[in-house]
A and B are shown apart, each in its own frame.
Chain A
């Protein structure tokens, strides 16, 4: 068989496998992310059925996956929500960062990953999964609970912190001098803050520019614009992901629903490819030796998240049950931990960072929702029409 036929069959088989995983996740009522990672592990180097010809395409698809994930994240929030969210939980957000970044960073140092990969790994343990939390709120009917606004504000803080963190990590990954690193990070902060300030005042200019009554025109314009901005951001080392995030923030008002319905299928496809790609790059043979570290870290950072949620909810005057729910909601780590770990590939080389991050996220993406469902197992009538 010629190469292109083989390529199509192989790529099709991978995507079909992802379809099976997504179906299984739906049946089990869990997030599909850990299953995509498992599929990647099985299909990658040292896995049961290594994929070879289509890996180049999957790598490109994975890059698009990160861009779509961050673009859609930006669409979730308006600039005003970001500013308000960050103001309302500044001290909690900072405590969240310190309590959850530090364990990952320390683990990285102890495991001798190197200083820069250790910083990346701190990022992996820091960010909760916005996607998993949103799904849990929906599935468990927790949107009306008193602690929910607090939890969501913490997520907003984390997402914005990530937008600042990604350029810093990017500069660290390049290994550039301190002065150019400071310059890049300074530029990134100016661009992010300036952009958000501009957008929160300017209304939906970007939406009016890009959107058209034809879906085709809107999709092509928005996608093209996002890629250009992402490319420019990458060019000045702010990271493509941050560029895409800013475009998402820039689209507001009525355009958001249009954008979301146009982009969701693309996001689902390419984000799945991104997770499988991360699994592909990880040799499952490396997992046993990092398993103990990953489990220990899972327990520690599970508890630190519960602590953060507990404190934040008690500040908002929520009772004990609600504080516990707030903490447990934040436990899940997912897509953005993998995004950060994925960026680290260039610095991590053959180190244990990838297997450690994959194992850690596997545990947290499964344990978080299970813990939440256990906390929810009480007298309750859920009527979903």
Chain B
């Protein structure tokens, strides 16, 4: 994950920014009024923002929702509290797992245990709602939702096949 730099803007608010792989600066200014300002810089002049966009509280949430990532997981944690009998767990893939290098479909997790894989966490990155063709790698963490028994079963499947 890129390192997010934080800088104080006295009298204005706080700014969070990072550099993308193609060398552009992108970030958000949190105004003290609660308004967020999204800005994007161009690769040839990273000092100046070329796109500025103001977002309200709700719009910021909508955008982060659309971008996916950790909010999906956070929402699931909420969901778990609301629905009785539903469990959520984080299962890591050991190097010796028979499904390391195979796809989610290969493991037939849903068919065998009724559990859904809702996200895959890989070296700090989140892949929300992975396709059945998503290849699992050793070291990945699967975020799964299902019954507590189903999750135990899934753990077994991932370990021994």
Binding site for B on A (CB under 8 A): 76-77, 81-82, 84-85, 130, 134, 137, 141-149, 152-153, 155-156, 256-257, 318-319, 321-322, 325, 379-385
- Expressed in whole angstroms, the minimum distance between the Cβ of B26 and any Cβ of chain A is 9
Complex Cα distance A256/B17, Å? 25
Hey, which chain A residues are within 8 Å of B51, CB to CB? 381, 383
B47 touches A146 (CB 8 A): yes
A319 touches B47 (CB 8 A): yes
Hey, which chain A residues are within 8 Å of B106, CB to CB? none
Ranked nearest first, the 3 interchain pairs of A and B with the lowest CB-CB distance are A144-B39, A141-B52, A144-B49
Contact with A along B11-55 (1 / 0, CB 8 A): 110010100000001010101110001010100011111111111
Complex Cα distance A318/B59, Å? 31
Question: B67 on the interface (CB 8 Å rule)?
Answer: no
Known contacts A141-B39, A322-B47, A379-B50; is-contact A146 B10 (Cβ 8 Å) = no
B49 touches A77 (CB 8 A): no
A84 touches B8 (CB 8 A): yes
Q: Which residue of B lies closest to A137 (CB)?
A: B12
Complex Cα distance A379/B10, Å? 28
Question: B80 on the interface (CB 8 Å rule)?
Answer: no
- Tell me which of B39, B50, B52, B53 has the highest count of chain A C-beta atoms within 10 A of its own C-beta: B52
29 contacts between A and B (CB under 8 A): A76-B11, A85-B10, A130-B11, A134-B12, A142-B49, A143-B9, A143-B12, A143-B29, A143-B31, A143-B49, A144-B15, A144-B27, A144-B41, A144-B49, A146-B25, A148-B9, A149-B7, A149-B15, A152-B9, A152-B10, A152-B12, A153-B10, A155-B10, A256-B32, A257-B32, A319-B47, A321-B45, A322-B47, A381-B50
CB < 8 Å neighbour of B49 from A82, A85, A130, A141? A141
Hey, which chain B residues are within 8 Å of A153, CB to CB? 10
Complex Cα distance A137/B12, Å? 10
B11 touches A145 (CB 8 A): no
A81 touches B10 (CB 8 A): yes
CB < 8 Å neighbour of B8 from A81, A319, A381, A383? A81
A385 touches B8 (CB 8 A): no
Hey, which chain B residues are within 8 Å of A152, CB to CB? 9-12
Q: Which residue of A lies closest to B37 (CB)?
A: A143
Tally of contact residues, B, Cβ under 8 A: 30
Complex Cα distance A319/B44, Å? 11
Hey, which chain A residues are within 8 Å of B9, CB to CB? 143, 148-149, 152
Q: Which residue of B lies closest to A82 (CB)?
A: B10
Given contacts A85-B8, A152-B11, A155-B11, 6 further A-B contacts (CB under 8 A): A141-B52, A144-B37, A152-B10, A325-B48, A385-B53, A385-B55
- Expressed in whole angstroms, the minimum distance between the Cβ of B25 and any Cβ of chain A is 7
Known contacts A143-B29, A144-B39, A145-B47; is-contact A77 B11 (Cβ 8 Å) = yes
CB < 8 Å neighbour of B33 from A81, A156, A257, A325? A257
Hey, which chain B residues are within 8 Å of A257, CB to CB? 32-33
Complex Cα distance A155/B11, Å? 10
Complex Cα distance A321/B46, Å? 10
Q: Which residue of B lies closest to A322 (CB)?
A: B47
Complex Cα distance A148/B17, Å? 13
Hey, which chain B residues are within 8 Å of A149, CB to CB? 7-9, 15
Known contacts A146-B47, A319-B45, A383-B51; is-contact A156 B17 (Cβ 8 Å) = no
Hey, which chain B residues are within 8 Å of A77, CB to CB? 10-11
Q: Which residue of A lies closest to B11 (CB)?
A: A76
Hey, which chain A residues are within 8 Å of B56, CB to CB? 385
Complex Cα distance A85/B10, Å? 8
Hey, which chain B residues are within 8 Å of A143, CB to CB? 9, 12, 15, 29, 31, 37, 39, 49, 52
- Expressed in whole angstroms, the minimum distance between the Cβ of A253 and any Cβ of chain B is 11
Hey, which chain A residues are within 8 Å of B39, CB to CB? 141, 143-144
Complex Cα distance A384/B31, Å? 14
Complex Cα distance A356/B40, Å? 43
B50 touches A318 (CB 8 A): no
- Expressed in whole angstroms, the minimum distance between the Cβ of A130 and any Cβ of chain B is 7
Hey, which chain A residues are within 8 Å of B10, CB to CB? 76-77, 81-82, 84-85, 152-153, 155-156
B11 touches A156 (CB 8 A): yes
A383 touches B47 (CB 8 A): no
Within 8 A of A (CB), among B49-97: 49-56, 59
Hey, which chain B residues are within 8 Å of A130, CB to CB? 11
Q: Which residue of B lies closest to A319 (CB)?
A: B47
- Expressed in whole angstroms, the minimum distance between the Cβ of A383 and any Cβ of chain B is 5
B49 touches A145 (CB 8 A): yes
Hey, which chain A residues are within 8 Å of B15, CB to CB? 143-144, 148-149
Complex Cα distance A286/B29, Å? 46
B47 touches A385 (CB 8 A): no
Complex Cα distance A145/B46, Å? 8
A145 touches B59 (CB 8 A): no
Hey, which chain A residues are within 8 Å of B37, CB to CB? 141, 143-144
